[in-house]
Amino acid sequence: MIEVKLHDVGEGMTEGEIANYLVQVGDRVTIDQPVVEVSTDKMVAELPAPVSGVVTDLLIPVGQTVGVGTVLLLIEATEAQPAVTVKRTVERSEQPQQQPTVTALLTERPKRVLATPYTRKIARDLGIDLELVPAVDPFGRVTEEDVRRFVESGTTPEPDQRPVAVETPSAPVDTIPFRGIRKQIAKKMTQSLFTIPHVTHFEEVDMTRLLALREELKAAGKPISVNAFFIKALIVALQDFPVFNAKLDEANEQILLERQYHIGVATETADGLIVPVVRDADQLTMQQLHQQVADLSTRAKTGDLRAADLKASTFTMSNVGPLGSTGATPIINYPETALIAFHKTKKRVCVDDQDQIVIRSMMNLSMSFDHRVADGATAVAFTNRFAGLIEHPTTLLMELI
């Protein structure tokens, strides 16, 4: 019997949620055929069958989160087992036992404490059993603050000291499943917001000249998206202010300044927000940036992104202007240092340097940054540098020569 286990599908993941089984018990599968979908904090990945054979059991129910190495399903091989598969050995004194079914697992498994992966990691690092930690939340969810409060108290609570979950009267309601990418987004955002002291800085940018240049390029048969211009201007600004292309290593008391520029582009999909990454963006031409952003956006919406498309971003941007947004306080894509969001561009009455009343195309931007790593003055200088390049695109082009 061959075990199909949850393995690391990208960037050191430790757990994943069973999003969907692509096979049923009794189905025949071929080697490398996708058999189960697993949702991580960045993507939904398909795990393939390691051998050809017949599915004999599905061990973990859909919607449950399990750790890397957990056996998800069993396949009875109908051909020689690959050498890479590790066979389990049974002591002579032991009798072979049948694998438990999903029903048996649900009845035998101890009650799972409600907590985010980040809270669980803190508890593991501190050697704390989450079942002993009292939760302030009325529904029993254990938070990072509960764990730290428990450590500071130095006492183990008696069972009757635990808060009891409040039961609410049942009533007819419509429900939406809270799992898959949506659940992973929630975990990631909670980790970021409760780890990083966020500060958001706002600025406005005159887009008039850039939009005119874009129209000229389009008329000449060289269309370039606004996002491509944004990425190029961001790279120049990040090179001048490398503290925003960085990660904080608290354990070693270091700020790690990244030498590569992998720009994450927040993309809205039917399943939620994901962040495909334009890798080595500083080495790409404007036309290549335009094509890559378009390609990543299309594949994000059709669910065709690969694990490599979602890895190792160093800075993230979000262009929500086309949706009509005028402002926001974005949450940083942990463990990055900052995230910049671009909002709606609209024509406004302005006063120019000669005190003349003019009509300009103005865009708001908001930038959230990690206040442990950078200060407000640095953030203002960074956005001023970015705004100057966008407002005078010929200056931006000179930076690329």
Question: Which residues are catalytically annotated?
Answer: 371
Using only C-alpha atoms, the chain has a radius of gyration, in whole angstroms, of 26
- For 162, the token pair is 């635990």
SS3 320: coil
Q: Which amino acid is at 304?
A: D
Contacts of 391 (CB under 8 A, 6+ apart): 205, 206, 207, 208, 209, 210
Are 247 and 336 in contact by the 8 Å Cβ rule? The answer is yes
SS3 content of the chain, % helix, strand, coil (to 5): 30, 25, 40
Classify residue 223 by its DSSP letter: -
Which of 234, 202, 231 lies closest to 327 in space, CA to CA? Answer: 202
Are 395 and 388 in contact by the 8 Å Cβ rule? The answer is yes
SS3 44: strand
Task: Please give the torsion angle defined by the CA atoms of residues 139, 145, 147 and 151, in that order, rounded to the nearest 10 degrees.
Answer: -140
* CA–CA dist 347, 362 (Å, integer): 6
* CA–CA dist 376, 142 (Å, integer): 33
Give the residue carrying structure tokens 């190792």.
312
Question: What are the helix (H) ranges across 11-85?
Answer: none
- For 165, the token pair is 């979950």
Give the residue carrying structure tokens 């009757």.
160
Task: Please give the torsion angle defined by the CA atoms of residues 65, 70, 72 and 77, in that order, rounded to the nearest 10 degrees.
Answer: 170
